Homo-oligomer: A and B are copies of this chain.
């Protein structure tokens, strides 16, 4: 019991919790997740420099016995798996019971019940998502959508968080290309804020905020590229250097319900943008996250799904964490002009 999981330094070890807990800060009304399970993760990428794998990679073809059984596989032409979705061995949340937050004096918290899956994006030990063919990238996003659609019937999950950590500085612990899906029993704070903002805009204007934004940014200095179905720009108030936003050009609130003819274009657009970043910034660590409507909500006229891409090129200090005001050292206009040129050179 007192052995616990090693933490920072040699004196303190963490005792595993029976269940993760979702807790709400009563003052700023922000949810956080307390989860000791994440501490057991392999730290293959502890140092950004040590990109050589040591142990056998659990995500490589042939090592399927090192993960749990697949909940979804996408086959290649010869019937072998090309994309594989498996339960996360170190889940942030666990699929046990339902979320029933309880008040404890000023606090509100409850068991962090949810589902945490890993999307293994290729059978070979590929380290860079941007190396995959555009059609393959489309298939990865189709796999996200398939998983989201599949679990929608379980009323316990309110939100599907799809994200990628690429590179140690972006929080990745394994180098083999992969991304993650966490189904949460609550709507996360950032999504709540976006929903509130887009509802306000709709009430004031009768229009979707994102549709208006596309119109405003298309001719502007933060525009990056446009394909038949997608629009890419850098947000005016981006928190990070080279922060990007990828939006469908036609209004659509649920990521997994976008029209079938748009999927191929999504992979091609992401391939263009990620390869542009890669060429221009020499393999930057980055995250991406899909923002979509909460699971049980009907099609919405005010919210528009999108992908946030966050390169992780700067240090976050006390000013940022203490105030919630990030300092972005690269004007989005300069970053967009540079990336526009990088994308243009490729095409």
Contacts and interface: CB of A to CB of B under 8 A. Distances in A.
Interface in A1-29: 7-12, 14-15, 17, 21, 23-29
A130 interface: no
A24 B281 CA distance: 27
B27 A197 contact: yes
Interface in A297-347: 308, 310-311, 313, 315-332, 334-335, 338
Contacts of A106: 209, 212-213, 216, 236
Interface stretch (A51-59, A69-77, A164-172, A253-261): A164-172
B241 A323 contact: no
A155 interface: no
Contacts of A168: 315
Nearest to A93: B327
A191 interface: yes
A211 to B, nearest CB: 11
A231 interface: no
Interface stretch (A133-141, A144-152, A283-291): A283-291
Contact of A171 (B31, B109, B201, B318): B318
A164 B212 contact: no
A33 B326 contact: yes
Interface in A147-191: 161, 163-165, 168, 170-172, 180, 182, 184, 188-191
A66 interface: no
A34 interface: yes
A235 interface: yes
Contact of A323 (B188, B280, B310, B331): B188
Contacts of A329: 7, 14, 34-36, 38-39
Contact of A193 (B21, B28, B281): B28
B32 A326 contact: yes
B92 A313 contact: no
B31 A327 contact: no
A197 B26 CA distance: 8
B323 A189 contact: yes
A106 B220 CA distance: 13
Nearest to A15: B334
8 contacts: A10-B282, A12-B338, A28-B197, A31-B237, A32-B238, A32-B328, A170-B318, A239-B321
